[in-house]
Chains A and B, each alone.
Chain A
């Protein structure tokens, strides 16, 4: 028999061999199922930790994903959403002259103290001011009922705000409005919307640009915090950004929405320690997986030591015998990955609905966990072959 064309000879020899590793792992199906369950469990632990920490940071992007445009203009010193860095509205108007720009609209952003009427405690609130005719944030609840923002003290309240804001949602639903104060200024919640809070504040509020100025009386009337730039359909945002960068004053900078989101996640990663905490969780998951795989393969080696010695005695070299165990490790890794991926998808769905965090499976994360499990299994497999490498075939006589 000649090897198939294009297939290297050594590779075709591999396929003619008895697949010892495969035969061995599948020989006892119940044991295989237990092994897969063990490795899957470790993978799910890792997915869980990555999902929570990723979700925590991804959730910081939520207001940014609502921005009603393709580019934003921010202060040159911009670090994260919530820091009140002003620039002149005239800078935003400069963008109107650039080809491809359809419209611009200001987005006012400020932090204030919200009074919980029940316990008289103040909580940090992030307030967005939007112009009603072209709002800088896409909020369908406001689009449906813009008249609710007509009062000079009215606001929309994010239903995902922390509970320490008070029973706002219940009262608005029952009585139509909730009266309180923002840094001593009367504030009336007349509507509700759902977006999700960030690390910057416990409460999200949206109001009109006119009302925003009532809550921040010290602010100069020409100052804005973010400019939303809306482009004509089919225009490349990066191209417009390049044009803007070429003539704008360095006191402002232009970013695409993904760049802004990235900046936000990076800022919170630097300034919070959740990454380390969940990183440790990932390590624990990997350690559990390593121990499970090591146990399985080590007992396999110990149970079959005379057989492996026999293989060495009849002329198979050390690499071949060690290779059997490593292949078993890789088979376990590949077989265990898919059930753990399925389980994790379910788990992510549950986490997303029960914690309001943005817990999403990405190809990148799935690939990362697959690499982790490959490394984990082959590492433990290598450790488990220690006895095998030392094994002297003369000892079986």
Chain B
């Protein structure tokens, strides 16, 4: 491995939504320091889709969780949507998470809520949406379910949905509050080829229409072409991909 590469495309005027510089991260495991990320530098600009690849254990999930404010940074600098997360407080992290959309490998839908109510949870975390009242939130949540092709299943409970349908509800929950930053961990893993394609198209529209940034971890070769940029992580170091 040579000197770290700074993954910054040229000719951009806007401020990046993600600005990582010289970020190191290590886990404490039974009293031992286990380094996972080394000297990461990465900027992601509005409207950009970045795909993060790398073998398992390369630290890509750790990086993704740090970008979403699920972990505070230990050293270096981590600026997400304008807030610095170096040694950040819990409240700073919680406030940031409200502006970020998450799609997890497991759908993690609440089993006792309908698809619509699960999507609405993504809105209820915002006081601005709460103040608009339930009918407005329901309308918005239903519109998102329609976009992922589940408008007719809005009243169904997760137990009565297929794996792919549950994943699409989870995607609708992540997108419903129009996040400026979307982070996704294998979003198409549970989907067939066609719905995987639909989801990627949806991401593209989100990036183009709202100038949101999207960072995706994926092994799915079929969707690599949707990325503006592919970055490769190897043993905790960033390598600019093809």
Could you tell me which A residues sit within 8 Å of B by CB distance? 1, 3, 9, 13, 16-18, 20, 23-24, 27, 304, 306-307, 309-318, 392-394, 396-397
In the assembled complex, B87 has its CB within 8 A of some CB on chain A: no
Residue of chain A at shortest CB distance from B112: A27
Write 6 A-B pairs (CB below 8 A) sorted by A numbering: A1-B131, A18-B113, A18-B124, A312-B97, A313-B97, A396-B104
A17 near B90 with CB under 8 A, answer no
Residue of chain A at shortest CB distance from B217: A397
Q: Give residues 92-149 of B contacting A (CB, 8 Å).
A: 94-95, 97-100, 102, 104-106, 108-113, 117, 120-122, 124-125, 127, 130-137
B185 near A17 with CB under 8 A, answer no
- A contact residues around B231 at 8 Å (CB): none
A24 near B112 with CB under 8 A, answer yes
In the assembled complex, B71 has its CB within 8 A of some CB on chain A: yes
In the assembled complex, B70 has its CB within 8 A of some CB on chain A: yes
Residue of chain B at shortest CB distance from A3: B131
B130 near A393 with CB under 8 A, answer no
On whether A397 and B98 interact (CB within 8 A), knowing A16-B130, A307-B108, the answer reads no
In the assembled complex, B226 has its CB within 8 A of some CB on chain A: no
Residue of chain B at shortest CB distance from A393: B70
Q: How far is the CA of A10 from the CA of B71 in the complex (A)?
A: 29
Q: How far is the CA of A18 from the CA of B135 in the complex (A)?
A: 12
Interface of B is mostly: helix
B71 near A18 with CB under 8 A, answer no
Central interface residue in A18, A23, A316, by most chain B CB within 10 Å: A18
B108 near A397 with CB under 8 A, answer no
Residue of chain B at shortest CB distance from A15: B134
A314 near B121 with CB under 8 A, answer yes
- B contact residues around A392 at 8 Å (CB): 70
Central interface residue in A20, A392, A394, by most chain B CB within 10 Å: A394
Shortest CB-to-CB span from A16 to chain B, Å, is 5
In the assembled complex, B61 has its CB within 8 A of some CB on chain A: yes
A314 near B98 with CB under 8 A, answer yes
Shortest CB-to-CB span from B125 to chain A, Å, is 4
Q: How far is the CA of A311 from the CA of B124 in the complex (A)?
A: 11
B120 near A1 with CB under 8 A, answer no
* Binary interface encoding of chain B residues 199-229 relative to chain A, with 1 for a CB under 8 A from any of its CBs, else 0: 0000000000000000000000000000000
* Binary interface encoding of chain B residues 135-165 relative to chain A, with 1 for a CB under 8 A from any of its CBs, else 0: 1110000000000000000000000000000
Q: How far is the CA of A378 from the CA of B144 in the complex (A)?
A: 38
B130 near A17 with CB under 8 A, answer yes
Shortest CB-to-CB span from B135 to chain A, Å, is 8
Residue of chain A at shortest CB distance from B110: A307
A316 near B64 with CB under 8 A, answer no
- A contact residues around B112 at 8 Å (CB): 23-24, 27
Question: A3, A316, A394: which contacts B71 (Cβ < 8 A)?
Answer: A394
